[in-house]
Amino acid sequence: NAGVTQTPKFQVLKTGQSMTLQCAQDMNHNSMYWYRQDPGMGLRLIYYSASEGTTDKGEVPNGYNVSRLNKREFSLRLESAAPSQTSVYFCASSEKGRLNTEAFFGQGTRLTVV
């Protein structure tokens, strides 16, 4: 099992450019998440998907869009990148319900917007 796989690992964008971060999990989890990690801010939820076809905003959704393409894949899109979106982005997945509640994280994408 690969777990949660994110691509790319590193990316540099110019202000105003767009890009999509890809995430896929092979654990048959229903729930998937996108977080951003900034120094001193912890992990902040951008968007969340409880199941295929559903998405919900998290704490910091502005400037981002998401697509839950199928059960395995959850992508994050920056339509017009801004320097404030320089961050490390983590995708995660977990199973619903009271058991097996651990969230598994991808290896992260380090994004720099210049």
Partner 1 sequence: GENVEQHPSTLSVQEGDSAVIKCTYSDSASNYFPWYKQELGKRPQLIIDIRSNVGEKKDQRIAVTLNKTAKHFSLHITETQPEDSAVYFCAASRRNFGNEKLTFGTGTRLTIIP
Residue number with CB closer to partner 1 (20 or 101): 101
Residue number with CB closer to partner 1 (29 or 81): 29
Reference 34, options 78, 90, 83; nearest CA is: 90
Q: Output the smallest distance, CB 18 to partner 1, in A.
A: 25
Q: Give the footprint of partner 1 on this chain (CB under 8 A).
A: 31, 33, 35, 40-45, 48, 50, 56, 58-59, 90, 94, 96-98, 101-103, 105-108
* CA separation for the pair 30, 99 (Å, rounded): 13
Reference 107, options 95, 94, 93, 91; nearest CA is: 91
Q: Output the smallest distance, CB 19 to partner 1, in A.
A: 21
Query: Would you call the peptide bond into 39 cis, given omega within 30 degrees of 0 as the criterion?
Result: no
The SS3 call for residue 84 is helix
Q: Output the smallest distance, CB 107 to partner 1, in A.
A: 5
Residue number with CB closer to partner 1 (1 or 102): 102
